[in-house]
Amino acid sequence: MKIPGFYSDTKVTSLLAFRLALFLILLGSSFLFLPLSSFLLSFFSLYGLATLLFLLCVLFSNLPQAQKWFGLVSYCQLFVEIFLEALLVNHSGGIHSPLAALFFLSIVSASLNHQLVGTVLVASWASLLYTGTVLFAAGWELANIFSLRALEGIYSLGDEYFYTLFIYLCSFYLVAFSSGYLAQRLKIKAELLLTASRQLRRVRMETDDILQHLHSGLITIDNTGRIVYFNRAAQEILQYQSKEVQGKDCWAVFQERMPELGKDLLAGLESSQTEVRKEIEINDLEGRQIPIGISTSLLQDEEQRTAGVIALFQDLTHIKELEDQLRTKDRLAAIGELSAGIAHEIRNPLASISGSVEVLREELHLEGDNSNLLELIIRESQRLNRILTEFLNFARIRSAYFTKVDLVPVLEEVIELVQKHPSFRPDIGIENQLPLHPVLVKGEDNHIKQLFLNLAINAVEAMEARAGKIIISNPIPEQIPPAPASSEKQVAVAITDQGRGMSKEQMKKMFLPFYSTKKQGTGLGLSIVQRLVDSLNGKIECHSTVGGGTTFVVYLQKFDQEEKIKPDIPALILTPANNSLPSKELTPSI
């Protein structure tokens, strides 16, 4: 027999108190009415042990062993208890003993554990022992009390003994049937209530878990405009804690940083106006504008009256960034095709002009201003040729053929090339913070080399007349927050300079073709970097403050030994005139 389930909460305390009180009553009554003997002490020790085992089974009802032995221990305790009560009745006046009421307490106690059938069984045991007590008080010998003659002897008892016995036996069974039936009904009701409570709790937990784990923010307000629900995503997007806003007026909460959101929520209450899809902007705690997409719907009661408004919204920042990146890629591709066509059309006549001027300079032997004009034509022709070379480099970038590339030797070679570049100065140091072990990525060697070479030269030129150092590091510096998309499948390399830095407006335009803050720059250096990163399926981020330097972080795909990649096929190389050293004009920067 298992311990009833409802003992695990509210019933345990009352049951323990009832059984303990009954035990103390019997203990006190025994010392008052029973003669002290070794038999009494042994019997009462047995009763105390049975009671202790019963209480332990109730206290440790969650243990399988307690569940297994609970029924047997409970019956043993009750049977010993009723036997002790019969002894007390016999020694305290027989049929006139007030302690006969203890039988009723035991029967009621049995109903709490064993319902109707068990209670009737206990009442039968109490009736049997009480009958024996009455017959013993009437002068019967102990050996004849529990024989068949006892049935005949009951009818020969005097009226007092007979009617007393009759009333008590009827009362025993009446109490047993009443308490057992009520206990059984109580058990059924308790089990139904427990089942309903568990189902309700499960439904509430499942519903709340679903709403709390949505990636979209969810706000619900009632018909007075007070916030009644605020899920986890809403806390992250709006930067409010649920406990701070629940129960408060939505306009009072949102009017300072996001008044448009508050207006949309109240519009549903005032005019039943809802939004299928709408984009608004809110301000975060630092004052930055965050675009969000919001849709609202009405909550209605049974009479179709507006009971509240539900708002579902998402942070569109990442989507806007992806849209900007896609537009930038399309723009770069279009400009690349246009640049290639223009460069080819201009380069041919430019080669003729440059060659003709070289011949004239050799044959005419001009002096003075005429010679200076001729030299000017030659220099400008060479500069124009370098610009056209950059156009072609920008247009020639194609998808890379991925192979295994170790970044450590590639970046060490980049450092050597930068130190020999015309823009490099002795007061600029380059600090190599790369690990000693190989750092393997998927990519094309020439693309990766040109990518970091452009960034490193850009860092040198950003130093201008300042002395300082450039740091090339893996992993990235601690002060740089990791990219949300970065994971174990990516490798990050940071290039940090101590140059003049950039404003937010400059950072928005830095990857646009032909945008440059330098007098001699063409504005294609970082555009080439962006296209190289795209060809490597990577990502680039920039962290900069005016006067505080700049850090570019490049995320490349980590090489997986188990992944199959395409064989190494030479890609179009971007170095000018196939030289191993970059020219100063090849890698312009902003």
Identify the residue with better confidence: 482 or 555: 555
295-303 long-range Cβ contacts below 8 angstroms, 24+ apart: 296/264, 296/265, 296/267, 296/268, 297/268, 298/268, 298/272, 298/274, 299/220
CA angle 41, 47, 50 (to 5 degrees): 140
What amino acid occupies position 50?
A
Name the band, by pLDDT with cuts 50, 70 and 90, for residue 552: very high
Provide the β-strand partners of residue 315: 292
Looking at residues 546-559, what average pLDDT do you find?
A: 89
Q: For residue 491, what are the CA distances in angstroms to 472, 476, 538?
A: 13, 10, 10
Looking at residues 129-138, what average pLDDT do you find?
A: 76
CB 566 within 8 A of CB 403: yes
CB 160 within 8 A of CB 94: no
Would you call 322 helix, strand, or coil by DSSP?
A: helix
- C-alpha 582/C-alpha 458 separation (Å) is 12
Give the distance, in angstroms, between the CA of residue 441 and the centroid of all CA atoms in the same chain.
30
Helices (runs of H) and strands (runs of E) counted in the chain:
17, 12
CB 470 within 8 A of CB 431: yes
Name the band, by pLDDT with cuts 50, 70 and 90, for residue 571: very low
Non-local (6+) Cβ contacts of 472 within 8 A are: 411, 414, 415, 430, 431, 432, 433, 434, 452, 456, 493, 494, 495
Looking at residues 124-149, what average pLDDT do you find?
A: 70
- C-alpha 391/C-alpha 527 separation (Å) is 11
The confidence score (pLDDT) of residue 484 equals: 56
CB 139 within 8 A of CB 202: no
Element (H, E) at 235: helix 232-238
Is it the case that residue 311 has pLDDT exceeding 50?
Answer: yes
The confidence score (pLDDT) of residue 572 equals: 40
Identify the residue with better confidence: 448 or 389: 448
Identify the residue with better confidence: 481 or 3: 481
Element (H, E) at 217: strand 217-222
Provide the β-strand partners of residue 492: 555
CB 85 within 8 A of CB 106: yes
Give the distance, in angstroms, between the CA of residue 223 and the centroid of all CA atoms in the same chain.
31
The confidence score (pLDDT) of residue 553 equals: 92
Is it the case that residue 20 has pLDDT exceeding 60?
Answer: yes
Q: Which residues of 85-107 are buried (b: 16+ CB within 10 A; e: fewer)?
A: bbbbbbbbebbebebbebbbbbb
Average pLDDT of the chain to the nearest whole number: 77
The confidence score (pLDDT) of residue 583 equals: 38
Looking at residues 429-434, what average pLDDT do you find?
A: 89
Q: Which of 391, 390, 385 is nearest to 350 (CA)?
A: 385
Q: Which of 91, 102, 111 is nearest to 168 (CA)?
A: 102
Looking at residues 439-443, what average pLDDT do you find?
A: 89
Extract the tokens encoding 501: 């830095």
CB 307 within 8 A of CB 222: yes
Element (H, E) at 98: none
Element (H, E) at 553: strand 550-557
Would you call 293 helix, strand, or coil by DSSP?
A: strand
Looking at residues 235-244, what average pLDDT do you find?
A: 90
- Pairing between β-strand 468-473 and β-strand 428-433 as defined by DSSP bridges: parallel
Q: State residue 15 phi and psi, 5-degree precision.
A: -65, -45
Would you call 398 helix, strand, or coil by DSSP?
A: coil
Name the band, by pLDDT with cuts 50, 70 and 90, for residue 519: low
Burial of 570 (0-12, 13-18, 19+ CB in 10 A): exposed
CB 336 within 8 A of CB 531: yes
The 10s digit of each residue's pLDDT in 349-406 is 777 777 787 777 777 777 777 778 878 887 778 777 777 776 666 666 666 678 889 9
The confidence score (pLDDT) of residue 267 equals: 85
Q: Is the peptide bond before 438 cis (omega within 30 degrees of 0)?
A: no
- C-alpha 573/C-alpha 540 separation (Å) is 21
Provide the β-strand partners of residue 300: 306
Extract the tokens encoding 489: 């499948």
End-to-end CA distance of the chain: 83
Q: Which domains does the chain have, with CATH numbers?
A: 5-195 (no CATH), 217-315 (3.30.450.20), 320-396 (1.10.287), 403-578 (3.30.565.10)
The 10s digit of each residue's pLDDT in 97-119 is 777 888 888 888 788 777 788 88
- What percentage of the chain reaches a pLDDT higher than 90? 10
Lowest mean pLDDT segment, chosen from 2-11, 51-60, 222-231, 368-377: 2-11
- What percentage of the chain reaches a pLDDT higher than 70? 74
The confidence score (pLDDT) of residue 34 equals: 60
- C-alpha 142/C-alpha 14 separation (Å) is 39
Looking at residues 394-421, what average pLDDT do you find?
A: 82
The confidence score (pLDDT) of residue 494 equals: 92
